[in-house]
Structure 1
Amino acid sequence: MKNYIKADEWNIIEEGFDPHLNKISESIFSLGNGRMGQRANFEETYTGETLPGNYVAGVYYPDKTRVGWWKNGYPEYFAKVLNAANWVGIEVRIADEVLDLATAEVSEFKRVLNMHAGVLERTFTAKLKSGKTVKVKATRFCSIADDEVGAIRYSITPVNFDGKLTLSPFIDGDVKNQDSNYDEKFWTLVSDEIIGTEAYIKLRTKKTEFEVCTGSNIGLYKNSEKLDVKIAEIRKEKFIGQTLTLDVKANEEITLVKIAANLSSENYSKEALLKETKAVIAKATAKGFDTLLKEQKEAWATKWEESDIVIEGDVSAQQAIRFNIFQLFQTYTGKDDRLNIGPKGFTGEKYGGSTYWDTEAYCVPFYLATAPQEVSRNLLIYRHKQLGKAIENAAKLGFKDGAALYPMVTMNGEECHNEWEITFEEIHRNGAIAFAIYNYIRYTGDEAYLAEYGLEVLIGIARFWKQRVNWSSNKQQYVMLGVTGPNEYENNINNNWYTNLLATWCMKYAAEAAGIVKSQQPEKYTSLLESVNFKDHEFADWADIIEKMYYPEDQEKGIFLQQDGYLDKEQILVKDLPASDRPINQKWSWDRILRSCFIKQADVLQGLYFFEEDYDLETIKRNFDFYEPRTVHESSLSPCVHSILAAKLNDEARAYEFYLRTARLDLDDYNNDTEDGLHITSMAGTWMSVVEGFAGMRVRDGKLQFNPFLPTQWKSFAFTIGFRGATLKVNITENGISIKNNNDVDLEIGIRNQIYKLAGNTELEVDNAELV
Structure 2
Amino acid sequence: MKRYLGLDQWNIIENDFKDENNKVSESIFSLGNGYMGQRANFEEGYSGSSLQGTYMAGIYYPDKTRVGWWKNGYPEYFAKVLNSTNWIGIDIYIGDEKLDISKCDVSEFSRILNMKEGFLYRTFIARLKDGNEIKIEAKRFLSIVDKEIGAIEYSITNLNFNGDITISPYLDGDIKNEDSNYDEKFWDEISKLSEDKNSYLTMKTKKSNFYLCSGMKYDIFKDDTKVKFNAQVNEKEKFIGNTIRLNLNKNEKVTIFKYVANVTSRDVNIDDIQSVTKNILNRAYDKGFYKLLEEHAKAWDKKWKESDIIITGDLAAQQAIRFNIFQLNQTYTGEDDRLNIGPKGFTGEKYGGSTYWDTEAYCIPFYLSTANQKISKNLLIYRYKQLEKAKENAKKLGYKKGALYPMVTMNGEECHNEWEITFEEIHRNGAIAYAIYNYVNYTGDKDYLTEYGLDVLVEISRFWEERVNYSDAKGKYVILGVTGPNEYENNVNNNWYTNRIAAWTMEYTLEVLLKLKDEAPQKYNDCIKKLKLKECEVNKWKDIIKNMYYPMDEKFNIFLQQDGYMDKEQILVKDLPKENLPLGKHWSWDRILRSCFIKQADVLQGLYFLGHLYDDNTIRRNYEFYEPRTVHESSLSPCIHSILASRLGMNYKAYEMYLQTSRLDIDNYNDDTEDGCHITSMAGTWMSIVEGFGGLKVKNDVLTLNPSIPEKWETFSFNIMYRGFLLKIRVEKNHVKISNDSDKEIQVVVKDNLYTILGKKAIEI
TMscore range, shorter length:
over 0.9
- For the pair 1:137 / 2:137, whether they are aligned, the reply is yes
- Describe how 1:590-629 pairs up with structure 2 within 5 A: 590-629=589-628
Distance 1:135 1:476 in 2: 76
Distance 1:176 1:700 in 2: 50
Which residue in the other structure is 1:585 paired with?
584
- Describe how 1:8-157 pairs up with structure 2 within 5 A: 8-157=8-157
Distance 1:522 1:221 in 2: 71
Q: After TM superposition, which residue ranges in structure 1, 4 or more long, deviate above 6 angstroms?
A: none
- Describe how 1:427-576 pairs up with structure 2 within 5 A: 427-576=426-575
Shift of 1:535: 1.4
Q: State the AA in 1 paired with 2:171.
A: I
Which residue in the other structure is 1:705 paired with?
704
Deviations 1:286-327 (A, max 9, x none): 000000000010000000000000001111100000000000
Secondary structure at 1:254 match in 2: strand
Distance 2:533 2:748 in 1: 40
Contact 1:202–1:274 (Cα < 8 Å) also in 2: yes
Range 450-459 or range 702-711, more displaced: 702-711
Secondary structure at 1:689 match in 2: helix
Between the aligned residues of both structures, percent identity stands at 60
Contact 1:725–1:745 (Cα < 8 Å) also in 2: no
Distance 1:59 1:528 in 2: 35
Deviations 1:147-178 (A, max 9, x none): 11110000001111110100000000000000
Shift of 1:524: 3.1
Distance 1:103 1:222 in 2: 27
Distance 1:759 1:65 in 2: 59
- Describe how 1:291-302 pairs up with structure 2 within 5 A: 291-302=291-302
Q: State the AA in 1 paired with 2:510.
A: A
Which residue in the other structure is 1:769 paired with?
none
Shift of 1:123: 0.3
Shift of 1:530: 2.1
Q: Point out where structure 1 has 5 or more consecutive residues left out of the alignment.
A: 767-772
Contact 1:451–1:521 (Cα < 8 Å) also in 2: no
- Describe how 1:640-659 pairs up with structure 2 within 5 A: 640-659=639-658
Shift of 1:747: 1.2
Distance 1:518 1:378 in 2: 26
Contact 1:61–1:205 (Cα < 8 Å) also in 2: yes
Secondary structure at 2:131 match in 1: coil
Deviations 1:743-762 (A, max 9, x none): 01221101111111112111
Distance 1:745 1:481 in 2: 52
Which residue in the other structure is 1:309 paired with?
309
- Describe how 1:201-240 pairs up with structure 2 within 5 A: 201-240=201-240
Shift of 1:532: 2.5
Shift of 1:214: 0.8
Distance 1:462 1:759 in 2: 42
Which residue in the other structure is 1:636 paired with?
635
Q: State the AA in 2 paired with 1:383.
A: R
Distance 2:744 2:421 in 1: 45
For normalisation by structure 2, the TM-score amounts to: 0.99
Secondary structure at 1:722 match in 2: strand
For normalisation by structure 1, the TM-score amounts to: 0.99
Secondary structure at 1:547 match in 2: helix
- Describe how 1:312-461 pairs up with structure 2 within 5 A: 312-401=312-401, 403-461=402-460
Q: State the AA in 2 paired with 1:28.
A: I
Distance 1:528 1:754 in 2: 40
Q: State the AA in 1 paired with 2:480.
A: L
Q: State the AA in 2 paired with 1:51.
A: L
Secondary structure at 2:342 match in 1: coil
Q: State the AA in 2 paired with 1:459.
A: V
Distance 2:707 2:334 in 1: 30
Secondary structure at 2:348 match in 1: coil
Contact 1:605–1:623 (Cα < 8 Å) also in 2: yes
Contact 1:450–1:517 (Cα < 8 Å) also in 2: no
Q: State the AA in 1 paired with 2:509.
A: A
Distance 1:763 1:739 in 2: 5
Secondary structure at 2:216 match in 1: strand
Secondary structure at 1:229 match in 2: coil
Distance 1:307 1:520 in 2: 36
Q: State the AA in 2 paired with 1:605.
A: L
Which residue in the other structure is 1:770 paired with?
none
- Describe how 1:605-754 pairs up with structure 2 within 5 A: 605-754=604-753
Shift of 1:224: 1.7
Q: State the AA in 2 paired with 1:727.
A: L
Output the aligned Cα RMSD: 0.7
Secondary structure at 1:345 match in 2: coil
Secondary structure at 2:58 match in 1: coil
Distance 1:262 1:633 in 2: 39
Shift of 1:106: 0.5
Distance 2:515 2:237 in 1: 60
Secondary structure at 2:632 match in 1: coil
Secondary structure at 1:609 match in 2: helix
Shift of 1:527: 2.6
Deviations 1:77-135 (A, max 9, x none): 00000000000000000010000011010100000000000010000000111111100
Contact 1:337–1:378 (Cα < 8 Å) also in 2: yes
Shift of 1:722: 0.3
Distance 1:521 1:130 in 2: 82
Distance 2:706 2:510 in 1: 32
Which residue in the other structure is 2:253 paired with?
253
Shift of 1:146: 1.1
Distance 2:296 2:515 in 1: 44
Shift of 1:522: 3.0
Distance 2:421 2:225 in 1: 59
